[in-house]
């Protein structure tokens, strides 16, 4: 585990992770501008086997089969933003870029074709490259709607209240039930309650 400022990172092996043998975990504490989350961002490196034909359909169907829908096909915005009413998954089906998680003082990570990034409600994220550098499918647990927040004055405390109401999903967007975020996030939740 690496601890620096308000960021904790950890890499660990996942059971039954096909295609990827580990997940990277990034815990980003909030500041006066961005709430971030007590739940870690999860990066599954190289977990997607992207087909040559119809890659968007493949990723969208995988997420949908695990209960994550309301999907969109897009790049990743080049400004800090977060969602307060839903968690988000990004499945990278093309390209490569550097993202910043957690706001201006947050961690920088590389995402590329085959990666999946699960972002808890409240965590700021920004593409440090160009939107067209990366292609991804975004989706939301249970087909939830999402909002857009930018760390502007007046967003909080309402966004903080919204985030507290967002439940831990019943399924991981890639692994389904009983693996991935369902295990990791529930363990974090149980530790925080004790």
Provide the 3-class DSSP secondary structure of residue 154.
Answer: coil
Confidence tier at 22 by pLDDT (50, 70, 90): confident
Per-chain mean pLDDT for the chain: 89
The answer to whether 86 and 138 have CB atoms below 8 angstroms apart is no
The separation between CA 188 and the C-alpha centre of its own chain, rounded to angstroms, equals: 16
pLDDT at site 188: 87
Structure-token match 């992207």, residue found: 50
Q: Is the peptide bond before 157 cis (omega within 30 degrees of 0)?
A: yes
Provide the 3-class DSSP secondary structure of residue 19.
Answer: coil
Is it the case that residue 41 has pLDDT exceeding 70? yes
Enter the tokens of residue 42.
């999860």
DSSP per position, 137-152: EEEEETT-----B-S-
DSSP per position, 53-101: S-HHHHHHHHHHHTTEEEEEEE---SS-BB-SS--EEEEEEEEEEEEEE
CATH classification (class only), 2-185+187-191: mainly beta
pLDDT at site 25: 95
- What are the structural domain ranges in the chain? 2-185+187-191
pTM > 0.85: yes
pLDDT at site 15: 42
Provide the 3-class DSSP secondary structure of residue 74.
Answer: strand
- pLDDT digits 0-9 by tens, 134-188: 999 999 999 999 999 999 999 999 999 999 999 999 999 999 998 999 999 999 8
- What is the sign, positive or negative, of the torsion defined by CA atoms of 54, 60, 63, 64? negative
The region of weakest confidence among 6-20, 39-53, 78-92, 148-162 is: 6-20
């Amino acid at each position: 585990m690496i601890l620096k400022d308000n960021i904790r990172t950890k890499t660990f092996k996942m059971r039954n992770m096909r295609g990827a043998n580990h997940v990277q975990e990034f815990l980003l504490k909030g500041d006066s501008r961005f709430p971030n989350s007590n739940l870690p961002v999860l990066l599954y490196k190289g977990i997607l086997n992207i087909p040559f034909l119809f890659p968007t359909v493949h990723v969208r169907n995988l997420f949908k089969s695990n209960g994550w829908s309301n999907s969109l096909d897009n790049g990743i915005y080049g400004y800090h933003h977060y969602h307060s009413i839903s968690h988000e998954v990004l499945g990278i089906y093309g390209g490569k870029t550097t993202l910043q998680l957690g706001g201006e003082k947050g961690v920088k990570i590389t995402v590329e074709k085959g990666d999946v990034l699960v972002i808890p409600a409240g965590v700021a994220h920004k593409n440090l490259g160009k939107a067209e550098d990366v292609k991804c499918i975004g989706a939301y647990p249970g087909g939830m709607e999402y909002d857009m927040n930018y760390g502007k004055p007046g967003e909080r405390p309402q966004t903080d209240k919204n985030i507290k109401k967002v439940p831990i999903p019943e399924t991981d967007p890639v692994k389904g039930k009983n693996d991935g975020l369902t295990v990791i996030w529930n363990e974090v939740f149980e530790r925080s309650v004790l």
